[in-house]
Chain A
Amino acid sequence: MIEAHGLTKRYGDRTAVDDLTFTVRPGTVTGFLGPNGAGKSTTMRLVLGLDRPTGGRVTVNGRAYRDHPAPLCEVGALLEARAAHGGRSARSHLLALARSHGIPRRRVAEVIDLVGLREVAGKRTKGFSLGMGQRLGIACALLGDPGAVVLDEPVNGLDPEGVLWMRNLLKGLAAEGRAVLVSSHLMNEMAVTADEVIVIGRGRLIAATSMHELTRPARVRVVSPDAARLGELLAGPGVEISSPRPGELEVRGLACEPIGRTAAAHALTVYELTPRAVGLEQVFMELTRDSVEYAGRATSGGAAA
């Protein structure tokens, strides 16, 4: 369990993290989303005590990170893909980390196998690809068998097989009862991996909710020869109905079920009743539109991506 209360970090007069309050619960994968420069990495560094907060506090399993007698067994972290000395082997890197906690050598071999680095464990990490570096970082994070895991962009640099592996790993970690906080720019990947979502922009909390809640169907498409009549019947407070073309309705504010019932009750024919989910990407763009720090300009008049 990771809990932040009013967490604030200023560098000079720039506020990187502004009054953030959120909780990462055990047993869930929490996606941490925000445009570049939104403060995701800073927040993660604050969780691990690498940066000192200007205000507020963040605790891991009820205590500040630095107050734990065995920090690696509380939170495992991957903050940078390349955080190993290039002249040292992956195994030595992990072994040194294990020794600081008295974690047995056997565990080092275990995590090396877990992340699939056995063949290269004795090689110097200088020659590692970005993906191999990510795997080594995951091995470090899991070394102490921690109850919470904090991963900054772990999917970057992974090949498709690696992306799938990471997705299953994160879900597996959550299924084992761990709290998993993972940041990513890959919305589609987050949409299928995360249960909970924290969205920040310019250091501020924009949304903290479940993935389901965030992307639940926003409108329903109805195709019916009696569209006009059905529209009249469905109209009511909080319901918004438009008709993009004859015989077709776009209904906001009602789920499929009441629409279907209303149609049945009045013996109206319905050809199609389709919930239109909003993609996470689209929701994210709308949520963070005002807080994008580094926006590019579209080249041909389209919306900036």
Chain B
Amino acid sequence: MTAAGTAAHRGGLDTSGARVTFPRVMHAEWTKLWSLRSTWVSITVTALLIVAFGLVQSHLTARHLAEPGGGGGRDAAGAALNGFGLAPFAVGVLGVLVIGGEYATGTIRVTLSAVPRRLPVLWAKAAVFGAVVFAVCLAAAVTAFLASQWLFLSGTRLSASLGTAGVPRALAGAALDMALIGVLSLGIGALARNTAGGITATVGLLLLAPGLVHFLLPDSSVAAYLPSDAGQALMSLARPAGALGPWTGLAVLCCYPVAVLGAAAVLLVRRDA
């Protein structure tokens, strides 16, 4: 009665090929993501932030290295990746908006009536947003690294190339860190179903939690397991005392989005939309 019956009347649409599939849900989420100006603004700001802070820090490091007896300096990629200290906030806010914005505007009811099984929506949002953040941050990290080396650090003690041991891992690790934080904040947005609450929780986890832990438990190893510190382990060439190794850091970092997204999935299915 549906497809055949009405298509004949309208003489238009052939709905025989229409059905919900996961790639199509991803395509829909891709369309929604890029059809908002706020996405373009946040993504551009994130990329510029990473490149600009990387260049500034590399410039300062190079000047420091040039001074007589100037030692220290961070690892070869550390200065160029300086912007990754700030980028999580831009990425986190956008991650919350990706799903919180749907609740704020009522679009979520339209989305969930198109995909009434619901979970594909959450997975598709996480996959699309995570992939976009990874791609953009990787490009920004490589740009920041190459430009820093070319402009400031070539010929110094911190001279390095993309072929230098650990550098590809640090650059990809920085991008992966952002992607995972993006997915984490998206999960927080899905739990909060509200942009203001989601953003507060995300900033709290990324900014206040490390400060509190360092302040209350200065000698504890707990801090190393926070998303901020675990992420740092992923993008450092050198490994400071007490920090996790890069692979342990990755494993720890993955636990956060997995746990939050899992909880969001359970509630998404259970709660009335």
Contacts and interface: CB of A to CB of B under 8 A. Distances in A.
B112 to A, nearest CB: 6
A80 to B, nearest CB: 5
A99 B27 contact: yes
Interface in B1-32: 1-3, 5-7, 9-10, 12-13, 15, 17-21, 24-25, 27-29, 31-32
A79 B271 CA distance: 18
A99 B28 contact: yes
Which range holds the interface residue count of chain B? Answer: 35 or more
Contacts of A97: 28, 110, 114
B101 interface: yes
A71 interface: yes
Interface stretch (B33-41, B145-153, B248-256): B33-41
A145 B113 contact: no
B272 interface: yes
Which range holds the interface residue count of chain A? Answer: 35 or more
9 contacts: A72-B18, A85-B32, A85-B105, A93-B107, A99-B28, A100-B114, A104-B13, A147-B2, A147-B6
Contacts of B20: 69-71, 100-101
Contacts of B9: 176-177
B116 A65 contact: yes
B13 A88 contact: no
Contacts of B19: 69-70, 101-102
Contacts of B101: 85
B15 A73 contact: yes
B107 A84 contact: yes
Contacts of B35: 88-89, 92-93, 95-96
A84 B105 contact: yes
B272 A66 contact: no
Nearest to A147: B2
Q: For chain B, what secondary structure do more than half of its interface residues adopt (helix, strand, loop), or is it mixed?
A: helix
B4 to A, nearest CB: 10
A176 B110 CA distance: 24
Interface string B97-124: 0000110011101101111110000000
Given A51-B272, A70-B18, A176 B107 contact: no
A295 interface: no
Contacts of A178: 6
Given A48-B113, A72-B113, A92-B32, 19 more contacts: A26-B5, A51-B273, A65-B113, A69-B19, A71-B113, A72-B114, A80-B106, A82-B105, A82-B106, A83-B105, A95-B31, A97-B110, A100-B27, A103-B13, A110-B12, A110-B13, A176-B6, A176-B9, A178-B6
